[in-house]
Structure formats: structure tokens, C-alpha cells
């Protein structure tokens, strides 16, 4: 697969590390018009807590079967945003880098977005900026993509019930985690886990060419 080929990805709520390995290394198109499916990374992410792995799920207004992802609305019958933020804060407050992002993250969870795609894109943009990635070639599709080259179509490959499909294996190497002495290293967590535990050093794991490193690797205060 040439580096210039555009990869098709589904939207993801604070997606897993294998998702981000494709996102930061290849031109990407985020699918906005595929039909919404339950139990995917579109509205679910996994974090590591003192009690073990925890799945956070964004509730949605039950859509008709053929509803395109861009039209899926978030449900506010419960205060899920506050619950998610508190779960993340509780899980990572003792991690080395959580405090650098605490205020911005809390503000995001107070923003009350209407649509799932809007929410995911907002979080994704902020996470990429925290990681120090700028000017990535990421577009949102303007129609459903049919009959694409299977090598490029990752829309159904990166899924909670399927094996990891990283661009390169280094992005799945063990890294420091807050609860690793209790549980050992836990893989396939949200990119937030790597970000809060490793800071911008996460770039070393994500980049295919890990020599491309920002000189201000962990200097978030400036």
C-alpha cells in the first residue's frame, strides 16, 4: 500500500491506539454516511480504572436502521457526559500528564454536542493537537464510499470484537500504565490512556517513522 493512498476509517469515540496509528500516518477519509451500527468504537471507548477496564458508551437516540452516521443524535436522558468525565478523571488523575489536559477535557464534556459525528470529530481534533500532530490529511466523506479497494477500507476492520489491525506493531508495544502493577499491561484501550500516561512521547509509538518527533515533546506548559 503506497503512503499516498487514502484510508477509509469509521468515526470513533476517543478511538483505540491502532485506529490512531492509521490516522496520523496516512491520508484518511472519515466515513460520515455509512449506516450506524451498535457496539462499535463509534460511540464506545475503553479506559483503565482501579477496578479494571471500563467501557464508556455515548447513548444515542435510537435511529432507524438506514440512518447515516452523520445524522445520529446523542441522547441526554442521562447525564452521560458528566459520568464519562468523572470516570476518566478518577482513572487518570494520578497519571503523569492528565493535569495538562484536565481543564480543556472538562470543557469539552460540558459542550453538549447534538450529533455523534460532531462530538467524535471535536474530540479527535483536540486529541491530535495534544499529541502534537498538525496539518494531517484528514477529510470527512461527503457521500457513502462503495466498491473501494479492500486494502484501503478499514471501516469495519477496527472493531471492539475483532483483533487489532495496527499500521505497525510498535504502536502496540507495552508502555507505562497507572495500574500496571495490579493488572499488568492492558492493550486496546482508548488513545486517552496512552496520552495521559505517556504525554507527547506517545508520538514515538504512533508514528511509522519515529524519528519525526517534535522537539518540545512533553513541554505542554508553553
For 70-107, write each residue's pLDDT tens digit. 999 999 999 999 999 999 999 999 999 999 999 999 99
Query: Which residues, including other chains, have CB under 8 Å from residue 108's CB and lie 6 or more apart?
Result: 122, 123, 126
Whole-model pTM: value is 0.90
Q: Is the per-residue pLDDT at 148 higher than 90? A: no
pLDDT of residue 221: 38
Q: Are strands 44-49 and 7-10 parallel, antiparallel or unpaired?
A: unpaired
**Cell output for 143:** 457521500
pLDDT of residue 3: 47
pLDDT of residue 106: 97
Q: Is the per-residue pLDDT at 216 higher than 50? A: no
- Going by C-alpha positions, the residue among 56, 207, 47 that lies closest to residue 128 is 207
pLDDT of residue 4: 52
pLDDT of residue 213: 43
For 149-208, write each residue's pLDDT tens digit: 667 889 889 999 999 999 999 998 999 999 999 999 999 999 999 999 999 999 999 999
Q: Is the per-residue pLDDT at 44 higher than 70? A: yes
pLDDT of residue 140: 93
pLDDT of residue 78: 96
CA distances from 82 to 51, 79, 102 (A): 19, 6, 13
Q: Are 41 and 158 in contact, with CB atoms under 8 Å apart?
A: yes
Q: Are 27 and 4 in contact, with CB atoms under 8 Å apart?
A: yes
pLDDT of residue 152: 86
Confidence of residue 34 (pLDDT cuts 50, 70, 90): confident
Amino acid at each position: 500500500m503506497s503512503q499516498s493512498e487514502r484510508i477509509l476509517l469509521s468515526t470513533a469515540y476517543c478511538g483505540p491506539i491502532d485506529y490512531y496509528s492509521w490516522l496520523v500516518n496516512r491520508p484518511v477519509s472519515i466515513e460520515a454516511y455509512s449506516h450506524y451500527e451498535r457496539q462499535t468504537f463509534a460511540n464506545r471507548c475503553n479506559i483503565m480504572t482501579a477496578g479494571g477496564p471500563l467501557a464508556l458508551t455515548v447513548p444515542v437516540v435510537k435511529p432507524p436502521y438506514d440512518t447515516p452516521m452523520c445524522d445520529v443524535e446523542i441522547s441526554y436522558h442521562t447525564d452521560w457526559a458528566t459520568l464519562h468525565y468523572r470516570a476518566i478523571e478518577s482513572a487518570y488523575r494520578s497519571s503523569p500528564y492528565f493535569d495538562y489536559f484536565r481543564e480543556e477535557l472538562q470543557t469539552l464534556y460540558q459542550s453538549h454536542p447534538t450529533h455523534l459525528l460532531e462530538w467524535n470529530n471535536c474530540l479527535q481534533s483536540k486529541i491530535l493537537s495534544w499529541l502534537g500532530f498538525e496539518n494531517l490529511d484528514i477529510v470527512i466523506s461527503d457521500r457513502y464510499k462503495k466498491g473501494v479497494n479492500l486494502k484501503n477500507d478499514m471501516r469495519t476492520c477496527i472493531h471492539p470484537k475483532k483483533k487489532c489491525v495496527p499500521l505497525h506493531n510498535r504502536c502496540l508495544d507495552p508502555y507505562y500504565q497507572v495500574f500496571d502493577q495490579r493488572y499488568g499491561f492492558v492493550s486496546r484501550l482508548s488513545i486517552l490512556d496512552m496520552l495521559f500516561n505517556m504525554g507527547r512521547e506517545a508520538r514515538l509509538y504512533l508514528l511509522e517513522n519515529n524519528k519525526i518527533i517534535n522537539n518540545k515533546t512533553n513541554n505542554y506548559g508553553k
